[in-house]
Structure 1
Amino acid sequence: MARIFITGSADGLGLLAAKALAAEGHNVVLHARNPARGTEAKRKVPTAEPVLTADLSDIEATKQLAAEVNDLGSFDAVIHNAGVYQVSSQLIFAVNTLAPYILTSLIQRPERLIYLSSGMHLQGRPNFENFNVNSGRISYSDSKLHVLMLSMAVARKWPGVYSNTIDPGWVPTKMGGRGAPDNLQKGYETQVWLATGNDSNARVSGHYFHHKKQRAYNTAADDITLQEKLLQLCETITGVAFPQ
């Protein structure tokens, strides 16, 4: 059985993926923004290992979270599920762009990394001129392009790791809203499959998936110069170097 850490697993797709993985007998470590949400998450997935808590909008708290994950030992997979949508640009940048970079860089390298992007990344731009913690100009679409660029950089630099990105679709979660038209089950099944699946379609790297199928994506994510600029700027802001 695999051991998986899932960020943002107190509700939404992260919680649903955690439930599905736990039901299959895998060992799951949950993450919540605060202790109250962590307690509720543990109640919903009682077989999960102790819940880790950290506010991913806080750079130092995110670094501490990585240390706590490492204290628990090695993981087979890490699912970077946490994300925010209708909030300030500063929060979007901190949670959606910087936090996955920090955690990827500091957590002991797993066999598989899964990142949640969005179809909205297609309208995103690198927008590097606005990379600072006080920027009010990083959009949700930009941040989800950053996530895809990070995943592609990992796939290129770490050949021993399966690094892939998911568009879960517009699904009826708290973020997506009740009227969202896409299939909720398919929204989290791809996470589970990429984290634990042993068929050849799941054991790949550097791809963008929607409902277990590879999909076209913003080709800016393939630009190595842009990938390197993303890593450099994230290092400058966070003080965390990307391991080579």
Structure 2
Amino acid sequence: MTQTPPEVELKSDLTDDVALVTGATRGIGAEIAAGLADLNATVYAGARDPADVTAADQRAVELDVTDDGEIRAAVDRIERERGSLDILVNNAGVFPRSGPLHEMDDAEFDRTMAVNLRGPVLLTRAALPLLVDEPGGRVVSMSSGLGQFTEGQMDGEYPAYRLSKVGLGGLTAYLDGEYGERGLVANAVSPGWVQTDMGGERAPRSPSKGAETPVWLARFAPGSPSGRLWKDREPIPW
């Protein structure tokens, strides 16, 4: 088991924390929502259809991250009901399987960017007043090894998905640079190849394994490392 880096202080209990998880009805998102609820956080589970959220210890909230009105309504509801938001997990995503850039469909590109990048940007923007109200607000964004670009990993097709995750890394670094001094802790995570609708049945990791590091990042105490990409509780290159 990977050991916690010594510079990281974790919150052992999230009883006083409010969390919003997008794409929380299945796969890694469902496991993240369950993991945060197990730590006693108040969990708002974002779903395009709230009826799909069946966990008794989660609060279903209608949230399609491509719908600006639903983004605003979800944040307004959390502020109205709880008055705070401590954890935002940008998990909702799509993964079109496509060839190289010269074969990419325009609509596929637009849809991928809308869900994987525009949605997290606008949702984070809407949530920022709550997240920075007190030091220690956390933003955890689901990235991918396919979005790493500093070690020669940008070959192998999937341009729309890859570029959306590069952008999500940029958002993470920007949030740290712009709001880190106000106490915001923003990190991205590569969960590995996971058995989900996106990952497929051949993937070697379970959704619960894929959720381990995102839940761990959501436990970061104020002043913890920020602006990084993580995998298996260790920082990795962008």
Pair 1:198–1:55, CA change in 2 (3 A): closer
TM-score, length-scaled by structure 1: 0.74
**For residue 90 of structure 1, what is the amino acid of its counterpart?**
D
CA distance in 1, matches of 2:226, 2:31: 24
Identity %: 28
How much has 1:48 moved relative to structure 2? 1.2
State yes or no: 1:77 paired with 2:87: yes
Pair 1:97–1:213, CA change in 2 (3 A): same
State yes or no: 1:86 paired with 2:96: yes
Which of residues 186, 190, 195 is equivalent to 2:209? 186
TM-score, length-scaled by structure 2: 0.76
Which of residues 117, 133, 144 is equivalent to 2:143? 117
CA distance in 2, matches of 1:90, 1:62: 19
What is the total number of aligned residue pairs between the two structures? 197
Tell me what 1:16 maps to.
Answer: 31
State yes or no: 1:158 paired with 2:158: no
How much has 1:183 moved relative to structure 2? 4.8
Q: In the TM superposition, what are the counterparts of 1:164-203 in structure 2 within 5 Å?
A: 164-198=187-221, 203=224
CA distance in 1, matches of 2:159, 2:79: 30
8 Å contact kept, 2:94–2:115:
yes
- Give CA deviations for 1:53-90 in whole Å, capped at 9, x if unaligned: 13222334334433334333211111111111128222
How much has 1:161 moved relative to structure 2? 0.4
**For residue 68 of structure 1, what is the amino acid of its counterpart?**
R
Bigger relative contact order, structure 1 or 2 (CA pairs below 8 A, ≥6 apart): 2
CA distance in 2, matches of 1:71, 1:85: 34
What 5-or-longer segments of structure 2 have no aligned partner? 1-14, 98-107, 132-136, 151-157
Give the structure with the larger helix fraction: 1
3-state SS in 2 of match to 1:106: helix
How much has 1:204 moved relative to structure 2? 1.4
CA distance in 2, matches of 1:98, 1:69: 21
Aligned-CA RMSD value: 2.2
Which of residues 45, 54, 57 is equivalent to 2:66? 57
**For residue 151 of structure 1, what is the amino acid of its counterpart?**
T
How much has 1:39 moved relative to structure 2? 1.7
8 Å contact kept, 1:123–1:142:
no
